Amino acid sequence: MPKHKVGIVGASGYTGSELVRLLAHHPEVTLEFVTSETYSGKRISDIYPHLQDLVDIELISIENVSDFEPDLVFLALPHGVSMNFVKDHGIDEFVTIDLSGDFRFSSQGIYEEWYKKTHVSAEFMEHSVYGLPELFRDKIRNARLIANPGCYPTSAILALAPLIKHGYVNPSSIVVDSKSGVTGAGAKPKEGLHFPDVFGNFSAYSLVNHRHTPEIENTLLNYSGYSTEILFTPHLLPIDRGILTTTYSTPKKEVNMEMVEELFHSVYEKEHFVRVFDAPPSLKNIRGSNYCDIHATYDERTHRIITISTIDNLVKGAAGQAVQNMNIVFGLIESTGLKHIPLNP
């Protein structure tokens, strides 16, 4: 059986290069093209030497994508840029998996309010499927446009979805406290992300107005039917990759620690990439992998349910989840090409 043909638009950033790494030895696909406007004409291994002699494909301009006939295209482009590609190419010729935030909402108004950009291809928003496989794989199978989730939302939603769906917690006044490595900000240098600023430091940012807040709320509503109120605060860790998210919520019925633990084990026992632990997980145990590790417990004194989840923001939080979505679309086993053991230490 012929392999599926895929391409990456925007391969020179962290997410794009991570897609190259994961797809290079995927047994069921061939990587037809990778694009970069900045480095067009160079090899991907010229930009990322760790790919030397492993993936030496030449980067092309986005204008040359029409020379190929891919089955699926990954868009590893900034917010506000992916929508232009979809406007120009549509969704009929190939499946598109967009790793930006451009199609994570069905409402143009919500997108423009939080991203402060005019959406130029809003007619495609209603066709988009939110690509969180553990919650929406039935819709992903036949989707032509898949919105890959944000990294913070992935860690928060997987930790909260069972509690809200099964009526364990009050969906209002949920606190989500997240810490991320600096690769979540992308490869382009930015103020506040230089080594002297980050090393030995720890800081919060985008208080009360982070664009991932409505993404978490909207996704939990679509999955559970319950409107939620999320107080989300992101922090920057002095590490390169990884996210640890802690959530705090109030039960709306009598619960105990055993009930909470059993809920998570029963919901995720058949999932490829969600591992439920009886102790708090750490970032070292998911580094370089597509796993989301979750621990859930109950504090009798404060009457709060606490969850802790960890992911690699570049894998389960971006490229790995995109490949997982691709596997679903192509009818492959979800873990195909993603069975990487985490790097520890």
Rounded Cα distance between 27 and 114, Å, is 39
| Beta carbons within 10 angstroms of residue 88's beta carbon | 11
| Residues contacting residue 116 through CB under 8 Å, at least 6 positions apart | none
Residue 94: CA count within 13 A, CB half-sphere? 23
Rounded Cα distance between 167 and 38, Å, is 49
Asked whether 97 and 31 are in contact (CB, 8 A), the reply is no
Amino acid at residue number 137: R
| Residues contacting residue 85 through CB under 8 Å, at least 6 positions apart | 9, 62, 75, 77, 96
Long-range contacts (CB closer than 8 Å, 24 or more residues apart) made by 260-265 = 260/163, 260/168, 260/296, 260/297, 260/298, 260/305, 261/296, 261/297, 263/162, 263/163, 263/166, 263/168, 263/296, 264/162, 264/294, 264/296
155 dihedral zone (left: phi>0; alpha: psi -120 to 50; beta): alpha
Q: Give the torsion sign (CA, 115, 132, 107, 142).
A: positive
Give me Rg for the CA atoms of the chain.
20
Q: Which residues are catalytic?
A: 151
